[in-house]
Amino acid sequence: MRVCHQKPAPPNGQSPALPRGLVGETFAGMKTRIIQDETAVSAPVIAIHNLTKDFGTIRAVDDLSFVAAEGKVVGFLGPNGSGKTTTLRSLVGLVTPTSGTATINGVLYRELHDPLSEVGVMLEATAHPGRTARDHLRVLAAEARVPAKRVDELLELVDLGGAARRRVGGFSLGMHQRLGLAAALMGDPRILILDEPANGLDPEGIRWLRDFLRGLASEGRTVLLSSHVLSEVAQTVDEVVVINHGRLVTHAPLEALTSETTRRVRVRSPQYEKLAEVLASSGLTAWSDGADALLVAGDTQEAIGQLAFDHDVVLYEIATEASNLEDVFFELTSTPVLEATP
């Protein structure tokens, strides 16, 4: 059995679970959290506002809103099929939103004067398999009116100098990703939008990517980085936007997410099912954890103990557990969104 409910947003729109110094909001009637560092004053360079995209009867993105501030590295997270790629494609004008807007520096992508010098985009690491890495970038450089010497600089930057004259068809996935990054950096942009850049990389490749992105971030670039694995980007991002079923689940600084959301309470009870109902009716999220145990998120050990006592539920055990990033991500994205809508 699995009980999975989200806590309804309190009337003032703030989540009681939020750490001090953070503010929360609700979006579209479901419990979502926007947690912002009050000291952050940077202007948003990427703004998604009530974005919705339908493909026929399938709603890929559903009233999604969030912003990415200048100089931040934002992880854009969600399971496969959650709408990340559609959102990013809407942001750069490859997909036309059904409603809502997605802007960069306040304007639509197609209104940017010189797009590649403002935004570097890697949506998929693709190139014609019959063309060499160098020729692939030369084509892009010619198109973007970038001096050809930039091509060799970029190949060295992504450690592909030795493979410059090899045909892309013979590249490993990691080399494809590096080439995609090189293409994204062609115009030396201040904003980078990278869709699953670590997808399929081996541990060494992920480490290389992490160091590479850290280097970009240290230069003050704004990076919007999608992934379906939180731990993959955890050491790189400043904040995370989590979506599921096309909807915003949470937008928070990474520390807030890992310090607050990772707290879970494990409860054992012979009245397991009754406890599950009590927790659900109180709006808490609970997961089955063995034959007679539940993992509860969203409140403290004391509050859950009091709740059980108030409803005459016998407890054998109650303890706070810390969970890892994978658990946090799973908790955030495994909740059926429809149940979360009041």
Smallest distance from another protein to CB 90, Å: 9
Out of 12, 124, 310, 334, which residue is the one contacting another protein (CB under 8 A)? 124
The residue (of 181 and 237) whose beta carbon lies closer to another protein is: 181
| 255 forms part of the interface with another protein (CB under 8 A) | no
Smallest distance from another protein to CB 217, Å: 22
| 54 forms part of the interface with another protein (CB under 8 A) | no
| 107 forms part of the interface with another protein (CB under 8 A) | no
Q: Interface residues for another protein in 11-50 (CB under 8 A)?
A: none
| 171 forms part of the interface with another protein (CB under 8 A) | no
Out of 121, 175, 182, 241, which residue is the one contacting another protein (CB under 8 A)? 121
Smallest distance from another protein to CB 58, Å: 12
Binding part of the chain for another protein, among 112-120, 170-178, 226-234, 266-274 by CB under 8 A, reads 112-120
Residue 317 β-bridge partners: 268
Q: Interface residues for another protein in 129-148 (CB under 8 A)?
A: 129-132, 135, 138-140, 142-145
Binding part of the chain for another protein, among 38-46, 128-136, 231-239, 268-276 by CB under 8 A, reads 128-136
| 91 forms part of the interface with another protein (CB under 8 A) | no
Smallest distance from another protein to CB 21, Å: 38
| Of residues 126, 139, 51, 132, the one with CA closest to residue 95 | 51
Q: Which residues bind another protein (CB under 8 A)?
A: 55, 86, 89, 92-96, 109-112, 115-116, 121, 123-124, 126-132, 135, 138-140, 142-145, 183
